[in-house]
Chains A and B, each alone.
Chain A
């Protein structure tokens, strides 16, 4: 018996691929959320998430484990979204005909879903580069230097994109009609 215990006791050594898949699995929600925030239509998120995984897997050997994974993943999501957006623009604007995501799930009330759609619609109005910086900084709480590293841009550019992005987001949220029942305390500040 003790022999059997010895055989089964060593902690399983993950291969590099398994380790990568494990990391991807842990951050799957984040990847999907980030792709949506970067403007990927619901019907394309699945496919693009797979592209993100393939890119992550390719770079896994050289990825510095000391660095936080989320900004790194976001950088991949950003590049994939940019490429996909260019492709959509080249072909035809599918986005115009894209339907919204199916109705609210059990964990999400209708109002919460509407408010989320409101934010996503407003984000959609920002150019992708500024949107990416704003999402990282103001939603994901990523430090400016990590944003600069993840998106391969200078610090000054991060600051400048964030400044413009915030102004644009405020304007977009004022411009886009908000969900009808915006009566929650958090959002009753008068933005139309």
Chain B
């Protein structure tokens, strides 16, 4: 078969042969994957429900939602900038901006249900609303925090992931990467063996992002913690 192609050099052939015999998964990873599969099966109802097309469309839906969220955030920022100068009668109930004396009412569509996050005292309003022109910087900062958390989770330093996640929750309660933050939070809690908190966080995630592409994974993780 391979006579039709440029033959691989012996060195490359040897490397590929070595790759062919890569080590098996650790029992922990295997158990985790199978538990998640069983949980997905149990959650999926009848056999072979129309899930797979959803697997494709979920990505598209997520992309759409991201776009909608971005537009919503931009609209809020725009409204904020143009509405805050004239006298506004009263400060909003609940949370308050740290920097401005008379902030506008909090935008209702972006209200967040309280999350079982690690320390989140007196969370400020979304920072996005403050700095429309600096949104790129804000997004980079969001990314920086979440990347730290992802890296910590990837090296299984779950406790180390909580700190950037909490900081992100404080700084960007309604940031563009909130969905990813909450999913990572569940993952970190599961990794730490804090099953009850993980399940509460997963429930909160499902309520807040019922159509999230990450929802099956979050449910799977939470099921693993049982």
A residues in contact (CB < 8 Å) with B: 15-17, 21, 24-25, 28-29, 32-33, 37, 41-43, 46-47, 49-51, 53-55, 57-61, 79-80, 83-84, 86-87, 90-92, 94, 97-99, 101-102, 105, 107-108, 112, 115-116, 118-120, 138-140, 143-144, 159, 162-163, 166-167, 169-170, 173, 186-191
Contact = CB atoms under 8 A, between A and B. Distances in A.
A173 to B, nearest CB: 6
Nearest to A16: B47
Contact of A25 (B22, B34, B56): B34
Which bucket holds chain B's interface residue count? 35 or more
Nearest to B56: A83
11 contacts: A16-B47, A17-B41, A28-B34, A41-B154, A42-B154, A54-B55, A92-B143, A112-B23, A169-B12, A170-B9, A189-B14
B156 A139 contact: no
Contacts of B16: 119, 138-139
Interface in B1-59: 1, 4-6, 8-12, 14-20, 22-26, 29-30, 32-34, 36-38, 40-41, 44, 47-53, 55-56, 59
Nearest to A160: B5
Contacts of A87: 59, 62-63
Nearest to A49: B33
A144 B156 contact: no
B125 interface: no
A173 B33 contact: no
Given A54-B216, A94-B147, A98-B151, A59 B52 contact: yes
B82 interface: no
A32 B52 contact: no
Contact of B37 (A24, A43, A169, A187): A24
A115 B11 contact: no
A187 B15 contact: yes
Nearest to A189: B11
B66 interface: yes
A32 B220 CA distance: 17
A40 B5 CA distance: 28
Contacts of B6: 163, 166-167
* Chief secondary structure at chain A's binding surface: helix
Contacts of B8: 138, 166, 169-170
A84 B213 CA distance: 11
B41 A189 contact: no
Interface in B101-153: 139, 143, 147, 150-151, 153
B97 interface: no
B143 A102 contact: no
A150 to B, nearest CB: 16
Interface in B61-107: 62-63, 66
B206 interface: no
B162 interface: no
Nearest to B220: A50
Of residues A58, A86, A191, which shows the largest number of chain B Cβ atoms within 10 Å of its Cβ? A58
A37 B19 CA distance: 9
Given A118-B15, A139-B19, A54 B51 contact: yes
A46 B33 contact: yes
B55 A51 contact: yes
A139 B26 CA distance: 22
Contact of A119 (B10, B15, B33, B150): B15
